[in-house]
Chains A and B, each alone.
Chain A
Amino acid sequence: GIQVEQSPPDLILQEGANSTLRCNFSDSVNNLQWFHQNPWGQLINLFYIPSGTKQNGRLSATTVATERYSLLYISSSQTTDSGVYFCAGYYNTDKLIFGTGTRLQVFP
């Protein structure tokens, strides 16, 4: 099955800094999603991005399917960006395989 690895595992930033989170997957995927898990445990959909680049406000994501990785960019980080970021993908199956997450802490 697909293995999903995320880096870095932990990230500490000061407000206003930029960051890049990486997701590597072991095999081809035909769906890749990025989620933000907030401090209350809710999983918020950020992007559906099996390939290409998308932007939503201060967040953007790029997936290079041929090289089996995806990147999530956070610009001008805010304290509300704190939480855990997960990527998850699947290929020809119903189940999303989640990575281990990147825990982001943004301090004022």
Chain B
Amino acid sequence: EPEVTQTPSHQVTQMGQEVILRCVPISNHLYFYWYRQILGQKVEFLVSFYNNEISEKSEIFDDQFSVERPDGSNFTLKIRSTKLEDSAMYFCASSEERGRGGQGRRTDTQYFGPGTRLTVL
């Protein structure tokens, strides 16, 4: 069964450094997402991406975050200048169709990658 993959599995960085988290979505999916989970808390939406542009973002996704699909397979999340509070598990997800305006079909199911655990020191 196709899977979403993410690299690296763990990333340790110093406060103020830039990090890039990488994801390879499922190949026939067109919609891509990033979520994060601070330790012990629930999973929170960051951003959705379609057709090379952001389609929706949360309040968390401020100017220090950016996303990019640099080629036909990768989807990246960049944090420009990391802060201690950015320490979290970051999940990438993908779906065939989108939720907005969706009809509740199986094809808007979001499939999640294994996550990247980011630790900011």
A interface with B by C-beta (< 8 Å): 30-31, 33, 35, 40-43, 45, 48, 50-51, 86, 88, 90-101
User: With A43-B91, A94-B31 in contact, do A31 and B43 touch (Cβ < 8 Å)?
Assistant: no
Q: How many chain B residues touch A (Cβ–Cβ < 8 Å)?
A: 31
For the complex, give the distance between the alpha carbons of A99 and B42 in Å.
7
* Chain-A contact segment, one of B12-20, B68-76, B97-105: B97-105
B 102-113 binary contact with A (CB < 8 Å = 1; else 0):
111010111110
Q: When the two chains form their complex, are residues A93 and B56 in contact, meaning their CB atoms are under 8 A apart? A: yes
B60 to A: closest C-beta gap in Å: 11
User: With A48-B106, A86-B43, A98-B43 in contact, do A93 and B100 touch (Cβ < 8 Å)?
Assistant: yes
For the complex, give the distance between the alpha carbons of A32 and B89 in Å.
22
User: With A41-B117, A95-B45 in contact, do A30 and B103 touch (Cβ < 8 Å)?
Assistant: yes
For the complex, give the distance between the alpha carbons of A15 and B64 in Å.
46
- Find the A residue at minimum CB distance from B43: A98
Q: When the two chains form their complex, are residues A96 and B45 in contact, meaning their CB atoms are under 8 A apart? A: yes
B interface with A by C-beta (< 8 Å): 31, 33, 35, 37, 42-45, 48, 55-56, 58, 89, 91, 93, 98-104, 106, 108-112, 114-115, 117
For the complex, give the distance between the alpha carbons of A50 and B99 in Å.
12
Q: Interface majority SS on A: helix, strand, loop or mixed? A: loop
User: With A30-B102, A98-B43 in contact, do A35 and B112 touch (Cβ < 8 Å)?
Assistant: yes
Q: When the two chains form their complex, are residues A31 and B109 in contact, meaning their CB atoms are under 8 A apart? A: yes
User: With A30-B99, A31-B99, A48-B106 in contact, do A98 and B112 touch (Cβ < 8 Å)?
Assistant: no
For the complex, give the distance between the alpha carbons of A43 and B97 in Å.
20
For the complex, give the distance between the alpha carbons of A101 and B37 in Å.
12
